[in-house]
Every structure is written in structure tokens, then in C-alpha cells.
Structure 1
Amino acid sequence: MINHVVKKVGAIFAFLLCCSQGAFAATGTTPGNYIWWSFPSNVTAITDITYSVKVNQDPGPLANVFWSNQFDLAATTAAPTKLTGYMGMQSNGGSKRTFLISIWGPNVYKLGDAGSYCLNGTEGSPFVSCRTQAIYWQAGHTYQFHLVNEGDQWFGLTITDTTTNTSYKVGSIQTGRDAIDPKGNTVSWTEFFEWNSPLSTCTDQPYTKATFGMPIVNVNGVATSATVGSTSNGNSCSPDTTTNVDKVAGNVLVQNAIHNSIRGPILDAQGHCLINNNGTPALGTCSTFDSQQGWVLGSNGAIQNNHLCLTNTAGVPVASCTGDATQLWGFQNGQIVQKGTNLCLTAASPLVNVQNCSTLTTQQWSMPEIQSLNSTSWSCLNATPTSYANFLIKGMTLCPLDTMSSPSGNYHLNVLQNGNLTLTDSSNTSLWTTATSAKTPIRGFIQNDGNFGVADSADHALWSTAKTGYTGASVFLIQDDGNLVNYDLAVKFSSGFSDPTAGTSRTGGHVFQRGSKLISGQSVTSGNGKFALTMQASGNLVVTRLSDGFVAFQTKTLGAGNYAVLQNDGNFVVYSATNVPQWNSKTAGATSALLLLQDDGNLVLYSFTPKWSRF
């Protein structure tokens, strides 16, 4: 029922606001999500409700995206059928951005503040839609949608920008109903309304991120919050790795078209924009709202405008998308490179062509913003296959033919030469895969946002754990139960030293897990080989920089036979030969903990909390 209602709303919206192209015979595939809200049992009728929406990442002014809050108006004795409505905000493919409220059934309205307007229409049943384009919504601003019964069954909508503390009355609609039904279809959703085009795909839609606040209802003067009943993805994309819905700090953070770029201009070094001139790419004056200048670099490597793909054939046309190798590109070091070749898109004003990659400024481009990996991981070029322990931290990289194994040795995470990341058991049975075998080569690493990700050689994201709310560092583990888990790390102890010039290594720093010991005379080094943690014969535990002997940290403990251990309770302790504590990190209670000698020379103890897991 919800999906049907949402599709009907989207169809009307697309017809009235965005497309002016008539109805399509078929629909395309686009991302999307739904959040169903649940209200406390004491909320039996709603006459005053406030939703909130913040677009964290603007998909671009040429995007066609709708962030909406849907509701049902309860039936009454005099009006025995419920009514469906929605209110929200859109980016309209180059037209002015819009706030609106629409309700099916009524046909009487009142205008709001200056610049508001209302429409009557019919699709299945009559509807009224009141709107404004007088406000140009901005990413990063939170907008509250306050819908209230103003009396005599008139429901009015006021928009408040909480960032600037300004309000705007959109309009009022005579509904013939008294209240919103808390048990009805109260759902917030994100719609890419290019689903109306049969040419739309999940890889040609722009990346966006938005925060939906918990709806607040006024019950007898008491503010009462809804909670999340359930969430789901739009299910148009298969496998659906393009949407993530995550509850963060009392809100719901939604990402769609993950790993695509936003929709925006491609500029050459002279500031000219790439224009799709009826299938021929040309360079010209930039115009923010010209749809022929809105490009998306998709997760599949296609550079797309209006559902057509930049193609490396004669004339470099913008042609029908086929998935052919001539339509797969990467963006690296400012160059647009055809994948698997040394050929670069080259400005030859007023046209473009493809030439061997070089240092020419005519091969330097700026692209629409891509959801950045911000990777500091080591390149896999000419890397020697390596066998890892059961963890991966920032700075470490899994390259082709690398293997990471569980502590028991019964499970193995393998980077295959065909570009797939697979989990196998002791009998070499495949248990899980990233399904990235069409992309070669690949590497796995911890991104700056804390997620474990898989990227190709052009650093283009192919797959990730796609969770939010990481507080800092993270670790990716393969466990003895066969589970893969990405943990958020919290610093519990730090030696306080950092050498930013030390650089990083592919294999990362040395990690102590619970039970690990360092006895007299033993030493371990950081992954880059520039720092050592040593239990000296004197009993002092020290971190030294190997190039000059500089002491970056020491416990100042003395006694032959001293040893250090990371205990099961999370405390890192230096004991005497007779097991008397001499020094400790004061981290008892961090039962999920690891100690890391980082490549910058810092000795850090982390506790960890699961954020993503295979099961």
C-alpha cells in the first residue's frame, strides 16, 4: 500500500513539476528509501505535527530528487474515507526548488505568504497542492514542516529554516477531516522521480545524503516524539547497495546513489564546461541550470548526461549507454582516463577528443563531487602478495592475492585477481562476496569515514560497509565464527606523540590483542619500520624512533624481568618479574580493546563497538 501511494504521488509530482514530457510507457530503476514512523499509544489523533529535513549533501541543482513526509487524514462519521497527503522539498532538474504540501480529496485552499501558489488537479481523485519557490533551500540547513489543524478542518503548513530562524507560510487546505491518523501511512521517503523515464538507472542518479528528524506531535500541550517503526530501501536497484538508512543521534540519516557523483559540471583547465550538444560533447560557457551540462560519474565508471554515456569512439559521442568498455572511465590525478587504457579525454576547444595521457593541461579536468574515499591507503602497484592476521586498520591495504585469516585459521578473506573479495571456509567454500568481479583490479582498505571499502585502481568506490556515526578510527575483523565485522574505535589511552612525516605502510602498525605480551628484550616495530616498542632489559617500556634513537614514550619502570601485557579487562600493564604492577594505562573496563603502535609512533589503546557485520 505504501509503495503504491508513493508511486502515485511521485507520478503526479513528476508530471506537474519536473518533466513536461508526457507519460512514459515504462519506468526506470532508481534508488530510494522509506522510513515508517511509530507513535506512542497515547497518541490517538494528531492535529499538530512537525517534521524536519536537512539535506546534508546537495545532489546538485540539476537533480530531480524529492524528500517527502507522507501522512493520512483520519476518516470521520461525515467523511468515512481517509485522505492521503505529503509535504516536502525538491530539487527540480534546473527549475526553481520547491516546498509543497499536497492532499488528495479536497479542492479548496488559501494562499500563504507572498510567492506561494496553489493548484487543483485530478489523478484518481481530486487533489490540492500548495507550493512556494520563493525559498531556495540550502544544503546544511534544517527545515521544519509544521502542519496544524487551524480550525474548521483547515490544515496549514509553515516552513521554518532553523538555521536562519525564518518562517514561511506555504498555504492552507480545507480537508473535511479533523486529524492525522497516527496508525495510518506516516512515512518519510526519498524519491528520484526520474523513475518515470525507462532510461533511468541506479548509476546515473546523483549521490545525496539527508537527515530526517523524528516527527514531533503536540498532545495537549506536550511535545511527543515518534520513533522509527521500520525502514526499507526502494528495491529498484539490484543488488541494492546504493542506499543506506541509519539512525544517528535521534535522527535518521539516509544516503542514496552511494558511490555515484553528484550531478554537476565537468570543467576543463580554462573553466569551460563540457556540454552535451545533441550527442556531440563541446566546450562552452557554464550555466548552472543547463541540463546539457549536468553530468554524473556512476559507480560503474560511466560518465552520463540525460541517461546517455560519454563514449570513446569516433568523435567521442554522448550515446546510448550499453556498458561497453568504451563507456567506462576513471578520474585520477585530474585526468579522465578510459579504463584499461592510457587514453585521456582531451580538450580541443570547442570540441574534445581522446589522446594518450600526458602532462598537458588540456587533459586536466574538474569533475562533479564524488563521495570521497579520502583514502590514505598504500597503492597496490607491484605489491607482493601478503598474508594478514585477522584485522585491518587505517593505513593497511588488501591488494590482489592478499589473504586475511581468522585467528583459528578456519576462515579466509581473499582478494582475487578477478577483482572480487571473497570469504571462504577451511574447505575453500565461498561464504560471502562483494560481487565486484566485473571491476579489476581492486583493493580493500579502511576509508577516512571509518567504513571498510573496496575500490578500483582509479580509487573509484565499488563497495563499502556504508555505515555512519564513526567517531574516529575503525578496525575490520575476520572472526573465528566466520563473521566479518567493522568496529568503531574509541581512544582510551594515547602516548601523545605523533610524527606526521613518518608516512604509512600497506601492512599498518603493530597491533596487540588481548593476551599479547612483550617480555624483557623483546621489541616490535611499526608497519613502516620507523618506530619500535621495546621492553628493555632495565625494565623500561619505550617507544623509540629508529632513525635517531629519539624516545617518543616511556613508562619509566625499572626492574629486570619486567614484562607488559594487554589484559582481558582492557588494561595495558607493566608487571615486575614477581607479577607486581609497575605501570598501567588506566583502561580497565575496555573489554573489547586493542593496542596499536601506529606508523606515526603513537602508542594507542582503543576500545571498539560493532557498526557493520556480515550477519
Structure 2
Amino acid sequence: MTLTNSGSSNAVANLNVVLPSGFSASGFNAACGATLSSSSNQVTLTNATVPASGKCVFTFNINIPPVNQLPASNTITIASSNAANSGALAGVAVPSISILGRTPGLYSDTWFPSGVNGVAVLDMFVTPMNDPGPNSNVFWSNQMGGLGGYTGLQSTEIVAGAEGVGKQFLFSLWGATNAQAGTPASAGIGGGSFCTVSGTATDGSAGVQCRYHYDWQAGHTYRFRVTPNASLGGGWFKTNVTDVTGGNVGDSFDIGSIFVGGTATLVPTTYVSQWVEYFDWNSKRTDCTSVPYTSVQFSIQAQSASGSPVNLGAANVYANSSCPSSFATTGFNTSTKTSTEIGAPQASAQGLVKANGSCLTAQQGETAGNPVGSNNAILASCPTSASVHASGGSKFAPQLWVMASDSTIQIENSYCLTAWNGSNNATAGSAGSNVVMLTCAAGSSNQQWTVAPGSAGSAGSQLVLTSSGQCLTPNGSSLTLAACSAANSVWAVPGKSFSY
């Protein structure tokens, strides 16, 4: 926080900084003889002497509450406390607060040797070892430092009008100015290539993005080959994707060609960062426990202009610090020069929870209900491969669940399956309790579930509220808690890879 005095004499400042509800402040660093203190959601600045035509800078940390305590508004206000001898507050400029979610990010960075500034062929291999789910919003990306962009594939099934439906492959270069589409839909391999040239491309950056819908398969290896497109001239670069699983050559398509300007006839190289992005970090309601399990293998090869292989060293593999270390596992095999990146290793994929041929569903979608507690968990018809492919994964978000590492069962945006007895929450979890959707709250006993083996002779498992030992029990399409028995040994929960 900076106070500026435009006057010709010293001025005394006394201010109140009002934070959003639930926020707090710490780590005060005062200046100009002032005192900084906090109470509730307010910071108080007392007796700062701001020199004539000068300024004073104060720093402190704003602490954001957990998801279940986030307020509807993130506005900060600053006002004079009207203390005696205070100077007049002429104006205030307060930045807006953008709250982002917390997700693990996993990286495998490979640097090119000194003196290798360009290559004729850049091959980046991606093997998604599991399917995290049709609305899981995972991006396995190859970011190219020299070329200034990325290419990769995403997990989510989307519907994009004329561009087709299904999972998406991307090729984007920042600052690029032209593009030519790659393999057309008429080739019969996926949805065909579509490119956008924009001052604000779909990733929010100026440049060009080419997209291609193709339903990749878990366990298959996809080679992203970036080369100059000599047929279009210097400065043009093409990305081809080929299924090379088991050393064989399968489906192959060009995502597109992009013009970056200039006359380069080699792919510029500095480094390649192959990484796992959970792009639900864009939602402030996403937390580390919200994201599904994903596992991927990465590797890189390159050829010089003469066709000889470029000797690349070991990749630097690591995870970001947004989440505790238990939410990410990284490793590099020096023999195969392959990195393995696992996000949310203790969670499930985002998938279906089934009982008696129906699927667990948040009746009103991603909400705690109005009033709170009115969004019941029910059983409803399950989505199918055909319905998801036709409508996209996001339509079925209320039926796609993560069995999280903290023993919660949750849908997107941190809404948890919760035992509920209305205002008498002390008895939540007893026999006859309702089951609803509420915002996940760390350690809440009425949101902690255990998957237990079913009764002898039963085909399914039991979902047990850990605190009470009562089981989630179907009653037609509705759900309740009851003593565990064969009648509620009917559940099938998501594993490490999505399935219908």
C-alpha cells in the first residue's frame, strides 16, 4: 500500500482498510512512523507521517479463507479514520482481487545443448496413462521456449459447432500472424483442423491457435512432430500428431501450420517444458483435493538439419508449490529418457458412482442449494458414451465425482456429498439422515466417507459415513443413511481411469 502526499508540508494519515468478509492480514511492514494492526477483516494504519511531496510504502499479506468461507464479493475499501490532525484523503485507487484455485502443476523441462539454436525435427511424445474423465479439464502440454508456444492434448470432451466434438488437440504460437488448416475432416480422422488468428486467441494471448478434435486413447503414445513447413516458405511451422504406440504407426493428422514471421527454416530451440495443467485453477472454488488422478509419460527427441539426432540430457522434473507434495509425483528414467508425472496420486479419476444401474447425481447441479441444504443427492440415469460425445462433458458435471484423498466424494468446484439433518447438524449421519451437496469443508465429519466391501455375496461395495458407520442407501431415486446391509452393498465407484 502506497500513500502519496502531493502537498507542500508533511501530512498525518490514519486509515482503515476493510477486507472482504473472512479475509485477514499478517506480515506487517510499516514505514514513516506508522503502526499497522488488524482485527477481524480490517487493517488499521495509525499515525503515518507522509513527507511533503513524498510517499510511504507499507506491505502486508492478505490471507484468503478456504473455499467454504469465501464471500460473494472480493472488494477492498479504504477510508480515512477521521482521527484528529489527519490529512484529507484526496483519492483512493484499489486494485481488484482475482482469486484463483489451487491445483498441482507437474513439469518435465528439457534444455537443448549450448550451440543448438534450431532443429529440423522436434518430436515430443505424450502417453496419457489414464483417462481422468470427460470433464476433468486436464491439459498435457509441450511448451516450446524457442518457438514461443505450445502443442498438446486435453482430456475434456467438448462440443465446438462446426469444429466437431470430442477431445481436443492444440497448437498455439504467441505473436503469430497467419495460419493454414491441417488435415480436413473429410480425411475421416477426427473432426479436422480449424485455426484462429486473433489479437486475443482462445488462450487469452495474441497469436494463432489451431485445434483438432480427435478421441485419443489412454495408454497410447502420441508423437507431436513440429517441423518447418517448407511448402509455405520460411517462418511457417507445422505440427503433426501420429499414434506411435508400441512402435507402430497409427492414425496421423496435421493440427495446422502457423506463420510467425521471418524466414526461419529450422525450429528455434532453447527448451521444451512438458507439463500437466489442471486448468480448473481458473476457478476460485478449485482446491487441491478437487482434482482427479492423472498419469502421463513424456519424452523428447530432435534431429538436426543434417538428420542426425540431437543429444539431449536428462529432464528436470518437479511440481509447483500450489499444493502439498502429496498431490504430485514426478520421476525421470535415465535409461529410456522418459519422465512420469502423476497428479493427485491418492484420488480417483473423475467418474461415475453407480448403484442398481443408476448414477449418483447432484440434483440441482453445482450448488449448495437455495436454501442451503436443498440440493439433494439422488440417483438418476447414467450418461453414456454417446450422450457425452454429443453434448460434451460439462453437461454431466453433476454426475462426475472424484473420490478425493481427504475421504470426500465431490463434484467439480468443491461441492461434497454431505450427510444433512437441516439445522440440527449435530445429528447428521444418523439413520434417516438426508444426503445433500454442500461446499467442501476440510475435516467436516459429515463429508467423510469410506468405501467398504459389501456384505457377503453382494456384488457391490458400501459407502459408509465414517463418523457414524451408517451406509448410503438407495430408496428409489432418493438416498438416505441406514444401517449397512446387503440392501446398500450396491455401489461401484470410480477407479484410476474413467469408464462408463
Normalising to structure 1: TM-score of the pair? 0.52
* Farther-moved stretch of structure 1 (255-264 vs 340-349): 340-349
> Cα distance, 1:336 vs. partner?
0.6
> Cα distance, 1:370 vs. partner?
4.5
Contact 2:179 2:197 in 1 (8 A): no
> Cα distance, 1:286 vs. partner?
0.8
Q: Which residue of 2 aligns with 1:305?
A: 411
> 1:328 and 2:444 equivalent?
no
Residue aligned with 1:203, SS: helix
Q: Which residue of 1 aligns with 2:33?
A: none
2:172 to 102, 107, 110: 102
> Cα distance, 1:61 vs. partner?
1.7
Contact 1:52 1:144 in 2 (8 A): yes
1:70 to 133, 143, 146: 143
> 1:318 and 2:460 equivalent?
no
> Cα distance, 1:172 vs. partner?
0.3
In structure 2, C-alpha distance between the alignment counterparts of 1:252 and 1:190, rounded to whole Å: 12
Q: Which residue of 1 aligns with 2:155?
A: 91
In structure 1, C-alpha distance between the alignment counterparts of 2:133 and 2:311, rounded to whole Å: 32
Cα deviation code 1:257-314 (max 9, x no counterpart): 110010000000x210111111321111111431111000100001001220000113
1:137 to 190, 209, 216: 216
> Cα distance, 1:42 vs. partner?
5.0
> Cα distance, 1:24 vs. partner?
9.4
Residue aligned with 1:336, SS: strand
> 1:26 and 2:102 equivalent?
no
Q: Which residue of 2 aligns with 1:353?
A: 480
Contact 1:94 1:291 in 2 (8 A): no
Unaligned runs of 5+ in 1: 1-22, 74-82, 372-615
> 1:368 and 2:498 equivalent?
no
Contact 1:63 1:94 in 2 (8 A): no
Q: 1:9-24, aligned counterparts within 5 Å?
A: none
Q: 1:236-255, aligned counterparts within 5 Å?
A: 236-237=322-323, 239-248=324-333, 249-255=336-342
> Cα distance, 1:225 vs. partner?
4.3
Q: Which residue of 2 aligns with 1:120?
A: 197
Q: Which residue of 1 aligns with 2:237?
A: 155
Q: Which residue of 1 aligns with 2:382?
A: 286
In structure 1, C-alpha distance between the alignment counterparts of 2:158 and 2:178, rounded to whole Å: 30
Q: 1:170-181, aligned counterparts within 5 Å?
A: 170-177=255-262, 178=264, 179-181=266-268
> Cα distance, 1:44 vs. partner?
2.7
Contact 1:62 1:264 in 2 (8 A): no
| Cα pair distance change 1:325/1:67, threshold 3 Å | same
Contact 1:98 1:132 in 2 (8 A): yes
Q: Which residue of 2 aligns with 1:494?
A: none
Q: Which residue of 2 aligns with 1:549?
A: none
Q: Which residue of 2 aligns with 1:51?
A: 124
> Cα distance, 1:31 vs. partner?
1.2
Contact 2:157 2:168 in 1 (8 A): no
Residue aligned with 1:316, SS: strand
Cα deviation code 1:32-69 (max 9, x no counterpart): 21111022335232242010100012112221100000
- The one-letter code of the counterpart of 1:207 is Y
> Cα distance, 1:227 vs. partner?
2.5
Residue aligned with 1:195, SS: helix
- The one-letter code of the counterpart of 1:311 is T
Q: Which residue of 1 aligns with 2:37?
A: none
Q: What is the aligned length?
A: 335
Contact 1:57 1:209 in 2 (8 A): yes
Contact 1:58 1:139 in 2 (8 A): yes
Q: In proportion to residue count, which structure has more helix?
A: 2
> Cα distance, 1:335 vs. partner?
0.7
- The one-letter code of the counterpart of 1:92 is T
Q: 1:131-530, aligned counterparts within 5 Å?
A: 131-133=211-213, 135-151=214-230, 152-163=234-245, 165-177=250-262, 178=264, 179-183=266-270, 185-237=271-323, 239-248=324-333, 249-268=336-355, 270-278=356-364, 279-288=375-384, 289=388, 290-306=396-412, 307-314=414-421, 315-323=434-442, 324-333=444-453, 334-360=461-487, 362-370=488-496
- The one-letter code of the counterpart of 2:142 is N
> Cα distance, 1:127 vs. partner?
1.1
Q: 1:562-601, aligned counterparts within 5 Å?
A: none
Give the structure with higher Rg (CA). 1
> Cα distance, 1:229 vs. partner?
4.1
| Cα pair distance change 1:93/1:319, threshold 3 Å | farther
* Farther-moved stretch of structure 1 (216-225 vs 307-316): 216-225
Identity %: 32
> Cα distance, 1:351 vs. partner?
1.1
Unaligned runs of 5+ in 2: 1-95, 160-165, 185-191, 365-374, 389-395, 422-433, 454-460
Contact 2:226 2:267 in 1 (8 A): no
- The one-letter code of the counterpart of 2:418 is T
In structure 2, C-alpha distance between the alignment counterparts of 1:94 and 1:34, rounded to whole Å: 25
Residue aligned with 2:289, SS: coil
In structure 1, C-alpha distance between the alignment counterparts of 2:462 and 2:294, rounded to whole Å: 24
In structure 2, C-alpha distance between the alignment counterparts of 1:225 and 1:351, rounded to whole Å: 61
> Cα distance, 1:339 vs. partner?
1.2
> Cα distance, 1:181 vs. partner?
3.7
* Farther-moved stretch of structure 1 (188-197 vs 84-93): 84-93
Q: Over aligned residues, Cα RMSD in angstroms?
A: 2.0
Structure 1 stretches of 4+ with a deviation exceeding 3 A read none
In structure 1, C-alpha distance between the alignment counterparts of 2:303 and 2:288, rounded to whole Å: 35
| Cα pair distance change 1:125/1:63, threshold 3 Å | closer
Contact 2:416 2:447 in 1 (8 A): yes
Contact 1:24 1:198 in 2 (8 A): no
> Cα distance, 1:165 vs. partner?
2.0
Contact 2:354 2:491 in 1 (8 A): yes
In structure 2, C-alpha distance between the alignment counterparts of 1:171 and 1:370, rounded to whole Å: 33
> Cα distance, 1:224 vs. partner?
2.1
Normalising to structure 2: TM-score of the pair? 0.64
In structure 1, C-alpha distance between the alignment counterparts of 2:464 and 2:349, rounded to whole Å: 19
Higher relative contact order (CA 8 A, sep 6+): 2
In structure 1, C-alpha distance between the alignment counterparts of 2:463 and 2:167, rounded to whole Å: 31
> Cα distance, 1:364 vs. partner?
1.8
